Amino acid sequence: MTAGPQIALSKPAGVLQAPADPVFRQIRDLVYKVSGIYQVEEKLYLLADGCGRRMRQLNISTPREYWDRLTAHTNRDAEMRSLLNEVTIGETSLFRSQPQVDAIRKVILPELISEKSKQIIKRLRIWSAGCSTGEEAYTLAMVMMEEQAHLLKDWTVEILATDLNDRSIETAKAGIYGDYALRSTNDYFKRKYFDPAADDKLQVKPEVKKLINFSRLNLHDDSKMLFMKGLDLIFCCNVLIYFDGPSKSKVVNHFFNDLNSGGYFFLGTSESLLKLNEQFHLVHFPGAIAYWKPSRTGKKP
């Protein structure tokens, strides 16, 4: 095509595969306001599917009625939790966000290491808070092991992974995953860090597990939260969405205090901290967002 660029235009009608009923956009906005989870237009159908499943269970026939259930009904908070469960279900997998992994390897680790290089103990502490069945913690462990030959040479890496649910912790400790959880894991990592397990599944190798300390922790438990100190990276993916406003901001404040200056806090990829903590700086990396606890030097990024 030889013609030069031409352009313009407002939102094209009917191009995106969005559900027709405008109520779903209202629900999307409500979900965002309550939980900080944002469903982009392209994924609005996932929200509509989730609502559909809830509606069938509740025997509700129209999205408008379901909207009333979410807003006016006495059980609206419980219903919102059920909907959030539907929306975030199946989101966990290893290497779920490549841009996040890239940001850690290419930008954050070099920065942390240069800032901490003067310290006598060369140690990085990472916390997967609300680790569920361990996918995120193992991803981090493998990424750190990849860097151990270069960037993290002579560094000790500790990964804490906690969850409220004992059964999740047991599953996490076993470290056995099937195709679905491994759908974003490339062959290089599969070969290097996994052993074959029964039913065509793969099990994380012992040397990866060694890096992680799995334990049970309730994020509402203030005394335990005060005990978590000296962290460089905290990940808390799709967990805070279930908390009410006041407890959410309390937990986020704990996270802020538990981080070292210069450390980073990550939420899920479509999750926002809303206005819960004004001390964190929102920072962008290519394709990824994080919250940064400013360094003591006050150095701008």
Question: Least separation, in Å, of the C-beta of 110 and another protein?
Answer: 8
Burial label for 296, CB within 10 Å (0-12, 13-18, 19+), is: exposed
Closest to another protein by CB, 14 vs 90, is 14
Asked if 261 is part of the footprint of another protein (rule: CB under 8 A), the reply reads no
Burial label for 12, CB within 10 Å (0-12, 13-18, 19+), is: exposed
Asked if 273 is part of the footprint of another protein (rule: CB under 8 A), the reply reads yes
Asked if 20 is part of the footprint of another protein (rule: CB under 8 A), the reply reads no
Q: Which residue is associated with the tokens 């290497």?
A: 95
Q: Which stretch binds another protein (CB under 8 A): 46-54, 89-97, 101-109, 194-202?
A: 101-109
CA–CA separation, 237 and 273 (whole Å): 11
Contacting another protein within 144-203 (CB under 8 A): none
Q: Which stretch binds another protein (CB under 8 A): 56-64, 163-171, 197-205, 273-281?
A: 273-281
Given candidates 22, 178, 245, 301, which one binds another protein under the rule CB under 8 A?
A: 301
Are the C-beta atoms of residues 137 and 159 closer than 8 Å to each other?
yes
Total site size for another protein, rule CB under 8 A:
41
CA–CA separation, 72 and 271 (whole Å): 25
Given candidates 68, 91, 111, 158, which one binds another protein under the rule CB under 8 A?
A: 111
Given candidates 80, 124, 140, 289, which one binds another protein under the rule CB under 8 A?
A: 289
Asked if 22 is part of the footprint of another protein (rule: CB under 8 A), the reply reads no
Closest to another protein by CB, 216 vs 284, is 284
Determine how β-strand 123-129 pairs with β-strand 231-235: parallel
Question: Least separation, in Å, of the C-beta of 135 and another protein?
Answer: 23
Given candidates 19, 26, 42, 268, which one binds another protein under the rule CB under 8 A?
A: 42
Asked if 282 is part of the footprint of another protein (rule: CB under 8 A), the reply reads yes
CA–CA separation, 145 and 126 (whole Å): 13
φ, ψ for residue 158, nearest 5 deg: -120, 130
Asked if 246 is part of the footprint of another protein (rule: CB under 8 A), the reply reads no
Are the C-beta atoms of residues 97 and 269 closer than 8 Å to each other?
yes
CA–CA separation, 73 and 197 (whole Å): 47
Burial label for 263, CB within 10 Å (0-12, 13-18, 19+), is: buried
Asked if 11 is part of the footprint of another protein (rule: CB under 8 A), the reply reads yes
Footprint on this chain of another protein (rule: CB under 8 A): 1-16, 32, 38, 40-42, 102, 106-108, 111, 270, 272-274, 281-287, 289, 292, 300-301
